[in-house]
Structure 1
Amino acid sequence: MAMYEASKEFVSKALSLLSEVGDVIELNYPRDQLRRTVDLALKVKNREAVLLKLAYDAELVGKDEREELKGLSFNLKLNALIVAERRDGAKLVEGVVYDYGGSKLVSVDTLLNSVEGNYPTIYEEKDEFKVKINGEAMRSRRTLKGHSLGSLARAIKVSRKAIYDYEHETIRPTLDVAERLVRELGEDIVAGIDVFGPSDDVMATSTPSLGTKPESPKEMLLARKLEELDMGFCHTRKAPLDFCLSRGEFKALVTVPHGSEKPRELSNKIRNMFRMAEFIGSRSFVVTDGSPSIRELSWLDNALTIEEFESILGEVVAAATEEDNRDNRKARNREDNTGADNSQKRQ
């Protein structure tokens, strides 16, 4: 009980602090905060939004919530973080991006410092702590110091190949190796981990998640349709949506009324979905066959049948396929032109 009270206090304090540094939308579906996948979305200084799950201790975030968080992150191309004070009872260190069951975990201070541009530099990978290195800066400092690959390798007590790989950013040094590199070359070689940038490879989800398994017949039918259309998606049970979709530049949040929800509960879910979609720049849809709960939502006038929704997705897929074909044609033309230029040079 003490941990749950501590978590309630932590969530309230974190919300207050984050609201002071950026635009925040708080999501309140499901009502039980401990069963919720996403508590809020945060956007600062014209950066991409990030999805956040708040918990006093990360162990309060269950596997389902973590899988859904990873699925949302991958499909929406947004970073999604668990923000906590502790993990398994131990206090989180500021400036470190932890791994928790494949989800990224940071302290409130780490996130607040990142807002000011003071990004973390240390991250956890497969039970090891590593440091992100700027390969170009490392190569420049090595040359300035008069080191060859081999001489630096001997000074740092690693292989020549390791130095080569650090400079090409194909691997990252462990914390102890990074400390020796910094002593030899200076702190300029260390790179920050942009927790707001979805392209940062440290933050990217290496194993995309499909979220939780669809259970209702309506959801299973829609999942089959999405697979047939080759549409990327994840399913959620603990977020204000049932499906998150992506194909090319198209992103969408979808709610599929199950028929068993009370109108008030369903209304809260859909309103939260609409707010979330608008905040992150995604489209949103309600797909139904006229369930009783939907009919009682007089304010909702744009629900679609599954056939209407499938038609919209078909147009999205056709447009994305045409764009892919154009990109492929351009790539082939560049290759053909490069080959012709090389042939002329040889002559």
Structure 2
Amino acid sequence: MSTLERNHVLQEINDLLANHGFETSHIYDRSCFDMMARRKLLLLLLKVLVNIDGINGLQAQEIKKLSHAFLASPLIVGLKSKSEYLEEDVVYERHGIPVIALDTLKNMIIEEEYPEILADRGGYYVQINGEILKEVREDYNLSLKDLADLAHVSRETIYKYEHGIVRACPETAMMLEDILNLKITLSIDLFKVPDHDKKHDIHKEQVNKNIKNSHPQKLIDLGFGVIPTQKTPFDALAKLEQRKITKTADNALITNLERNRNQRTLKRMAISLKDLSLISGSDAVFILDNEKIKESLEGIPVIKSWEMGEMETPSELMKMIKERKN
């Protein structure tokens, strides 16, 4: 898939989402993610790849930490792995991020049909609803061995299915469904926000130490966790540590920190900040030393470093951002 074809896929995804109730962001070709999309409480962080093996661990880590900060669902849409095209309604994975084909995304958005098959090392697998399996087996007065013999697996395997210890191959799952005359496989909820990984806290503490003498230190002193980013339209994310996390990321700040940028560059960045702020539901702010720039830039609040130095509580910062945004 050439750059032109990739852009076509991105546009197709944008149209697909926009036609089904999503608000979509601009497309960010030089970012670790390509676009954001929101529908009510669902926020997607999307990346499109020609070859899904092209993403490395650092890029994936960046996407995952952004997803955690924004309470978003990360998703990679790809064309192929090596020389093999991705199969429809199969979920692949790269560095802990789910990967699907474009047709799979269409099925999810248009038909609300979610994939059940996961491609992993060694083949394809499905997750069986162990509680349903056990309940129906007992309703049929079948022992573990009885059902195992009918499905041509071991008694121990049926036990593991019922207790969620192992996944099943699709063929075995289909055989069990035929025997029991009931659907027992579980769909994969790709729109679920991933569970918080404690590694993020460790990484964040290390980052905060590294930036101790820079502008973000004041945000840290005010009680924000600060996550510097790379290959994004902003310089860092800041999120109140002590506030109870809700289903929205309303306490995440998209910050742009002073890096001796000229006003023209800052204006271009402000357009991206406003776009992503609207989609993510987060506040955007510039933290600058430039005295020539007043209280806002292209609608994005501007806080001067000396103003930050006089603040004692996070509410003072949030109040100033709200005032200058309005």
How much does 1:106 deviate? 1.2
CA distance in 2, matches of 1:220, 1:133: 52
Task: Show the counterpart of 1:167.
Answer: 162
Residue type at the aligned position of 2:287: V
Higher relative contact order (CA 8 A, sep 6+): 1
Aligned identity (percent) is 25
Preserved contact between residue 79 and residue 204 of structure 1 (Cα < 8 Å): no
Within the candidate set 60, 64, 78, 1:66 is matched to 60
**1:235: which partner in 2?**
228
Q: 2:273 aligns to what?
A: 273
DSSP 3-state at the match of 1:43: strand
Q: Is the 8 A contact 2:270 2:297 kept in 1?
A: no
Distance 1:8 1:315, change over 3 A: closer
Count of matched residue pairs: 303
Equivalent position amino acid for 1:279 in 2:
I
Secondary structure class of the residue paired with 1:56:
strand
Deviation of residue 70 (structure 1)? 1.0
**TM-score of the aligned structures, taking structure 2 as reference length:** 0.75
SS in 1 for 2:183: helix
Distance in 2 between residues matched to 1:162 and 1:237, nearest whole Å: 46
Distance in 1, Cα, partners of 2:170 & 2:213: 46
Output the aligned Cα RMSD.
Answer: 3.8
- The structural deviation recorded for 1:72 is 1.4
Counterpart CA distance in 2 for 1:281 and 1:157 is 52
Taking the aligned partners of 1:59 and 1:149, their CA distance within structure 2 comes to 41
- Contact 1:41–1:51 (Cα < 8 Å) also in 2: yes
Q: Which runs of 5+ in 1 are unaligned?
A: 317-347
**Alignment deviations for residues 186-243 of structure 1 (CA, whole Å, 9 cap, x no partner):** 4511121222232xxxx557685559x969x868746667777886554322222333
For residues 23 and 244 of structure 1, do their structure 2 counterparts lie closer, same or farther at Cα, with a shift above 3 Å needed?
A: same
Distance 1:167 1:117 in 2: 27
| Amino acid across the alignment from 1:42 | A
Question: 8 Å contact 2:78–2:99 — kept in the other structure?
Answer: yes
Output the amino acid matched with 1:278: L
Does residue 137 of the first structure (1) align with residue 139 of the second (2)?
no
Within-5 A mapping of 1:28-39: 28-29=27-28, 33=29, 35-39=30-34
Label 1:303 to 1:222 Cα distance change in 2 as closer, same or farther (>3 A).
Answer: closer
Alignment of 1:1-347 (within 5 A): 3-29=2-28, 33=29, 35-44=30-39, 46-115=40-109, 116-125=111-120, 128-186=123-181, 188-198=183-193, 204=195, 221=214, 234-246=227-239, 247=241, 248-249=244-245, 251-288=251-288, 290-291=289-290, 297=297, 299-303=299-303, 305=305, 306-307=308-309, 311-312=313-314
TM-score, structure 1 normalization: 0.71
SS at match of 2:313: helix
How far apart are residue 105 of structure 1 and its match? 0.9
Which residue is equivalent to 2:323?
A: none
Cα distance change on mapping 1:150 and 1:279 into 2, 3 Å:
same
The letter of the residue matching 1:4 is T
Q: Could you tell me how far 1:91 is from its partner in structure 2?
A: 1.4
Deviation for aligned residue 1:98: 1.0
Amino acid at match of 1:58: I
Instruction: Give 3-state SS (helix, strand or coil) of 2:8's partner.
Output: helix
CA distance in 1, matches of 2:153, 2:310: 60
Q: Is the 8 A contact 1:75 1:244 kept in 2?
A: yes
Q: What are the Cα deviations for residues 232-257 of structure 1, in whole angstroms up to 9, with x where unaligned?
A: 55432222233334443264033232
DSSP 3-state at the match of 1:254: strand
* Kept in 1: contact 2:36–2:276 (CA 8 A): yes
Return the structure number with greater helix share. Answer: 1
Contact 1:79 1:197 in 2 (8 A): yes
